[in-house]
Chains A and B, each alone.
Chain A
């Protein structure tokens, strides 16, 4: 292995490539269970034979015949970087599919090492693989590993130096695509069959897993399972996070201890402006830090924990199967559930991952829907916290209005935007019990990202409000917006502030409303209208920048120009309905 030529990891999706990358380099990348999380290529370094060597992680691919962006990226990378060794990471249970990649890589003349990963799961499924026979047949080193438990890594490192171009019965590359694919598959199936024996008994864990997998996408039982998971997530994030934890941090810690202390300390400051800047109604401590750390952080942290566990479990692609039909009605495939659910984590991140969708039309529809009505974790959490004291019906109405908006706009977009939607072809990875360590590391990385990304924007938003109040702009803005905020939406003038800062971050806006409600300044009907409007409200600055980056400034502006009046119109409609039928909320 030369000091300059890198080692490249290549493999199908869900074979533990990212876990192997992490174990080799010591750097952590998102180790997740569905395609699309490693669209970006990660690079790190490791020691091979005493030398520092670059390791490149690539997106999961099914083939090197490029059909998706991921496959294009991987193929280009292999051609341009001239790797010293390519590690083909195989799921030991799915040897055939990895062998197809081995053959394709062999035709490119690349030196390989085959890594048989997840040997523990193969053993659970009762499969034995003769790695020696496979190595002999291919003429390349074959190393069994369990990357998440760091087993086999020393052998893999040692094998890198003896990477070879494999000997495979390559079919003529000029065959028509389908014949070529079948010929590769036939060769792979034959070789896999000759080195694998399936007579070992399956463990009870593996039988139980298969039963759970069948139930998770079952046409009948799949729905109660989906609802249960939804309810558990809501209990954990909405009740425990937004209720218990926020109560502890906001009322007891910030309200009872930190803020009185800061206010008292600030009183000694000679300048009134500085005093207000720190501890006034729009103070950096009393508003920005209280919101960011006491109100939003506990909710975001519990959401990231729940989301990380779901990601790790392999349930999300099964969710895609369950909602495929509903998504079809919106002109997108069930595959789009992956960015949509990720949007519940962060719409900005999700907008980036729309790249996994195969047609430009579908990408655009999903980007619009994300910006319109998929609340990000921070916002969702505050929204759930706001709805929690209201009757349960309020939550249902909120969900119903937001879903109906998504559905209507999706249908409309599907009818207006030309082109076709992509096929729904999705691999379902095994269901696994989430590994607490993995979930925790992922959650901490996301919390770090939240603190770096969100807290400065909270401070900036507070400064904008502070300046606006000092310059008497706030009152002017409230009066200017009052026909809309007060008249159409029926909200108190202070709610205008929430919508203004909602431009900076969606959750900041929702947090402002949360504060108003906590002070008893919003009736149940007002709270519901406000929450629906802020959920549909235009995307945060970061998301808008991402849309501009991915689709151009014109699309970004068009999306914002459509969503703003749409959100207000839906809020006004709901307000009118709630006024006409006050009995709805009891």
Chain B
């Protein structure tokens, strides 16, 4: 069951606080927004740590701490990692 969960691709907003994940793809409905996220390191292949989900989604990407709207987390698809 554990292994199966690892292979599921889900939106970043669905992850609990404290989870680690690897970015799989981003839903490109606004190119400018995605380029912006990419410039902070949110690109396919990047490792992300979810620090907290409220009042905003706070992510750690390597040594960058990034706060984003929760709605944006729905456009970032990830696979959970250990």
Contact = CB atoms under 8 A, between A and B. Distances in A.
A217 B67 contact: yes
A85 interface: no
A182 B43 contact: yes
Interface in A290-341: 317, 320-325, 328, 333-334
B35 A63 contact: yes
A133 B49 CA distance: 29
A65 B35 contact: yes
A67 B32 contact: yes
DSSP class of B's interface residues: helix, strand, loop or mixed?
Answer: mixed
Given A219-B52, A334-B56, A423-B72, A185 B38 contact: yes
A208 interface: no
Contacts of A322: 55
Interface in A197-227: 213-214, 217-219, 222
A93 interface: yes
A177 B55 contact: no
A100 interface: yes
B39 A423 contact: no
B16 interface: no
A450 interface: no
**Which of the four size classes fits the interface of chain A?**
35 or more
Contacts of A127: 63
Nearest to A125: B63
Contacts of B68: 423-426
Contacts of A424: 56, 67-69, 72
B35 A177 contact: yes
A94 interface: yes
A369 B16 CA distance: 36
A259 B49 CA distance: 63
Contact of B36 (A67, A91, A217): A67
B10 to A, nearest CB: 20
A371 B56 CA distance: 27
B61 to A, nearest CB: 9
Contacts of B66: 425-428
A172 to B, nearest CB: 16
A428 B66 CA distance: 6
A427 B34 contact: no
A428 B39 contact: no
Given A97-B64, A182-B43, A425 B37 contact: yes
Contacts of B67: 217, 317, 320-321, 324, 334, 424-428
A426 B64 CA distance: 11
Nearest to A63: B39
Interface string B49-73: 0011111101000111111110010
Contacts of B31: 177-178
Given A423-B72, A424-B67, A427-B65, A214 B32 contact: no
A161 interface: no
Contacts of A324: 55-56, 67, 69
A423 B69 contact: yes
A395 B33 CA distance: 41
Interface in A422-448: 423-429
Interface of B: 26, 28, 31-41, 43-46, 51-56, 58, 62-69, 72
25 contacts: A67-B35, A178-B34, A181-B35, A181-B38, A182-B43, A182-B45, A185-B41, A185-B43, A185-B45, A185-B46, A186-B43, A189-B45, A214-B51, A217-B55, A219-B52, A321-B56, A321-B67, A322-B55, A324-B67, A328-B69, A334-B67, A424-B67, A425-B40, A426-B67, A427-B67
Given A424-B69, A425-B40, 4 more contacts: A214-B52, A323-B55, A328-B69, A427-B67
